[in-house]
């Protein structure tokens, strides 16, 4: 009986710790960026798709995220906007295997990836 009680207590303790670890992992902020190996056509398709689903005004000339003015930068920003708007689930950063989830904030200058 004492052995069964000890085993049950250990199991409850491990479940509690596991639950806390899951909360810690999910609490970490993440961002979605384009994989550096992505080709130009894929980057353009990602921009078009993400910006058809949400407002990408942040990429317009004169806005903080317009520069550098290249497909890799614009795709990363558009993909991250989509990822953030849809709950930061891994599948919202897949973009046909061309998205990469990162834990380091890719914001730069006045361009915030928030």
pLDDT 10s digits, 76-100: 999 999 999 999 999 999 999 999 9
CA dihedral defined by 94, 95, 96, 98, rounded to 10 degrees? -80
In a domain, 9, yes or no: no
| pTM score of the predicted model | 0.77
Q: Alpha helix (H) ranges present in the chain?
A: 2-27, 40-53, 71-85
pLDDT confidence of residue 3: 60
Range of the domain at 51: 40-107
In a domain, 69, yes or no: yes
pLDDT confidence of residue 22: 43
**Confidence check: pLDDT of 15 > 50:** no
* Cβ contacts of 105 within 8 Å, gap of 6 or more: 29, 31, 113
How many domains does the structure of the chain reveal?
A: 1
pLDDT confidence of residue 61: 95
* Cβ contacts of 48 within 8 Å, gap of 6 or more: none
In a domain, 1, yes or no: no
In a domain, 23, yes or no: no
In a domain, 53, yes or no: yes
In a domain, 59, yes or no: yes
Residue pair 28/60 in contact (Cβ under 8 Å)? The answer is no
Q: In the beta sheet, which residues pair with residue 33?
A: 100
Under the banding of pLDDT at 50, 70 and 90, the label for residue 114 is confident
In a domain, 14, yes or no: no
pLDDT confidence of residue 11: 45
In a domain, 56, yes or no: yes
């Amino acid at each position: 009986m004492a052995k069964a009680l000890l085993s049950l207590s250990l199991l409850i303790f491990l479940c509690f710790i596991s639950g806390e670890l899951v909360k810690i992992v999910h609490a970490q902020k993440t961002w979605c960026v384009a994989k550096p190996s992505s080709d130009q056509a894929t980057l353009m398709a990602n921009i078009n798709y993400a910006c058809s689903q949400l407002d990408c005004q942040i990429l317009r000339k004169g806005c903080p995220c317009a520069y550098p003015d290249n497909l890799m930068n614009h795709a990363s920003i558009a993909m991250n906007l989509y990822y953030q708007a849809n709950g930061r689930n891994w599948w919202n950063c897949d973009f046909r295997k061309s998205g990469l989830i990162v834990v380091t904030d890719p914001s730069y200058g006045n361009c915030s990836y928030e």
